[in-house]
Chains A and B, each alone.
Chain A
Amino acid sequence: MNDQNYRVLSSETRLNEEYIEVAKEDFRTACVSVLKRHDAFLRLMFCTDERAYTGCFRIYAVFSDSRINRFIVINSAVKDNLAYPSITPDIPAAHWYEREIKDMFGLVPEGHPSPQRLVFHESFPEGSFPLRKDWSISEDDLKQWSEGMVVKEPYKFMRVEGEGIFEIPVGPVHAGIIEPGHFRFSAIGETIFYLDSRFFYTHKGIEKQFEKLSFGTGVYLSERVSGTSSFSHSSAYCMAFERMCGIELPDRAAAIRTLVTEMERLYNHIGDIGNMCAGSGLTLGYAKGALIKERLMQLNERVTGSRYLRGVNTLGGVESDILQKSDDIRSTLAHVVKDYRDFMDLILHSLSHIERMETTGYVAKDIAAALGITGLAARASGIDDDMRKCHPHLLYETLGFESNVLTKGDDYARMLARAADADRSILMINELLDMHFSKDLIAGSYSVPSMQYALGYSESPRGSLFYWVKSDHEGSVFRVKLRSPSYCNWSAMPFAVNGDIVPDFPLTNKSFNLSYSGCDM
């Protein structure tokens, strides 16, 4: 590695993760060079407070080189002057991570184009950084924050000025049964010029909460980060823990995790295709989608005991042998598939619905790539990003998984991407039910090593999902970082709706169907 313009202080490889330590002055150069040299994606960025051990904070940027299934993790120690060179000017996908690190740890990204607060709203006290290990907050400050009355520095929304421009503020409490977030449209007539948004209303301090729990109880919490991706979250969390401890997953457990991940994808996608019909007024389509989804959720409950597939995952394997209920899964699926085909037939023959979706909510490939858009939304815009393919895990390699990439980048492409994904899931579920596995559900005994760390990941219905866990000297939780796909994909929304009319927003919003809770953590 001599052709590079940064100096490697240390490097270490664990499984498919390569950790490269550089001086913080070299952080930006190293990140840019890795991104270019490996044609990589920025997957996540985070910070840890190691002051008790090493006297410094440490920032990490995780890049994935999908061609060779490898993660390159550039990291730097930050101490004394709590600033580091921002990578956002070169890698726009970093823009939220750096603001989040500033809110949570107080590290300043020098050169960030818009370093205002991300997670915390106006009345959160200044100079208070919850993820620092020595952080505490007074009852008075908490009360002030809750009441939301003290506006220290008003949030600066992007303002569009000019004749005929007006603003439409919406939320955080919306008209339907939806999660809370604030949108501000700058429109002229019906046409949207710009959409600015504000999230983190549902911020629950989840990463800090993980630090208070044991690794085992963490599974329960990970299932409650975003309800509709409960299983993908707990799978990624368990995987991170298992990789950290060097646990080999029994093949039956791997099969069950693959199966349930696809069951989660299926009920989400069919429900979401139905929800898109609500966005265009195709009521019959909406009703059919909701009915099929309900039937799948009842199946979930019968085979796992939870409509949201909770309680299946555990550290080192799975709790229950779902493969024993394969008859129920097979017969319900056969029934559902018939209805699903009719449902798709209805949708694909509803010209008015398709016309509403075509060219609406367009996200160009280069914009999606620059913003680090992931999963289904990326695949609809021509980017081949699917964790099941680029970083094969569980049984996806055995199943010969191939991803589906579309190019149009509009609402219709996102709907078709969902349908293609659902078709794949049905095939894979049936294939898995026909395969044979050994009996073990949970790996044998293991111990939690001290000061070890690892990544875990999954492809949730919305896209790539990451956990990074680290143990402390006693083998307890030192840090859990989580990154949901919605966190990346919300950034695409202003681009998607630009130039569309305001009434198209609900449709485009549903075509992404992002989670607020997963994003807000």
Chain B
Amino acid sequence: MLKHIIKNLCSRRNTISICPEDITAEHELLKSLEELRDDIDAIYGRSLRIRQVDAGSCNACEWECTALSNPIYDIQRFGIDFVASPRHADMLLVTGPVSRQMELALKKTYDAVPDPKFVVACGDCAFNGGIYSGSYAVTGGVSKVLKVDLVIPGCPPSPLKIVTSLLAFLKQQR
């Protein structure tokens, strides 16, 4: 087994190659993330821990958050990470129009996050309910339920947009 793993790690065929388009995107991203790192250092002492809550999203917003951890964006290397427990979080990042059947769970999760904490409404739905606004089954956005510190518009906002919005926001807080 071990031999196999070593073979896999070493063999040229199994290395992860990055095509030219990725490299340009990568450079820009690296630049902005380097800046972000200074801000994170200053505010949170080298780490920003985010708890993501899906409050009725269509799931595209979540997949963009998940993509932030893929080898191209790889935000963990800059001290940003999504955490499993709200008790470890500095920030609650909410997606979806806050369906009525998720409102209670969202509030409970918020209460479990220690102070100081920020709330981010990620995506058009989280901002104002998006295409679902006016439906009986949604409250119509995170601000209907919690005080929102930052809105990241988009349907869904791309991973790059999510990161750069966080960067701009953290700069303001400094």
Contacts and interface: CB of A to CB of B under 8 A. Distances in A.
A291 B16 contact: yes
Contacts of B52: 177
Interface string B44-86: 0000000011111111111111110111100000000010111
B136 A202 contact: no
B54 A204 contact: no
A188 B55 CA distance: 32
Given A204-B138, A291-B72, A148 B101 contact: yes
Interface string A307-350: 11010000000000000000000001001000100100110011
Contact of B131 (A142, A224, A520): A224
Interface residues of A, number: 65
Contacts of B61: 227
Nearest to B145: A146
A278 B113 CA distance: 27
Interface stretch (A56-64, A235-243, A294-302, A441-449): A294-302
Given A205-B137, A517-B59, A146 B156 contact: no
B109 interface: yes
A293 B8 contact: no
Given A146-B100, A205-B136, A342-B13, A349 B53 contact: no
A351 B102 contact: no
Interface in A214-242: 220-221, 224-228, 230
A202 B99 contact: yes
B54 A148 contact: no
A491 interface: no
A176 interface: yes
Interface stretch (A2-10, A282-290, A417-425, A502-510): A282-290
A205 B138 contact: yes
B31 interface: no
A169 interface: no
Contacts of A335: 19
Contacts of B69: 290
The majority secondary structure among interface residues of chain A is helix
A227 B104 contact: no
Instruction: Give the interface residue-count category, chain B.
Output: 35 or more
A519 to B, nearest CB: 11
A146 B97 CA distance: 13
B141 interface: no
Interface in A119-155: 120-121, 130, 137, 142, 145-149
B153 interface: no
Given A137-B136, A227-B156, A346-B8, A203 B101 contact: yes
B22 interface: yes
Contacts of B1: 351-352
A516 B59 contact: yes
Interface string B139-161: 10000000000000001101000
A158 interface: no
A177 B65 contact: yes
Contacts of A351: 1, 4
B17 interface: yes
Given A173-B109, A291-B71, A291-B72, A179 B101 contact: no
Contact of A202 (B54, B109, B134, B156): B54
B16 to A, nearest CB: 6
B118 interface: no
B135 A146 contact: no
B67 A294 contact: yes
A200 B135 contact: no
A407 B121 CA distance: 45
A205 B54 contact: no
A435 interface: no
A179 B54 contact: yes
B115 interface: no
A156 to B, nearest CB: 18
Given A179-B59, A227-B63, A148 B104 contact: yes
Nearest to A200: B101
A408 interface: no
B169 interface: no
A346 B13 CA distance: 10
Contact of A287 (B56, B66, B71): B71
B85 A175 contact: yes
B54 A180 contact: yes
The 3 closest A-B pairs by CB, nearest first: A227-B60, A205-B137, A175-B84
Interface of B: 1, 4, 8-9, 13-14, 16-17, 19, 21-22, 25, 52-67, 69-72, 82, 84-86, 96-97, 99-105, 108-109, 130-132, 134-139, 155-156, 158
28 contacts: A121-B101, A137-B136, A146-B100, A147-B104, A148-B103, A172-B105, A175-B85, A176-B84, A177-B62, A177-B82, A180-B102, A201-B102, A203-B101, A206-B132, A209-B134, A224-B60, A225-B58, A227-B59, A290-B69, A291-B16, A294-B67, A298-B22, A298-B25, A307-B64, A349-B8, A350-B4, A515-B59, A518-B59
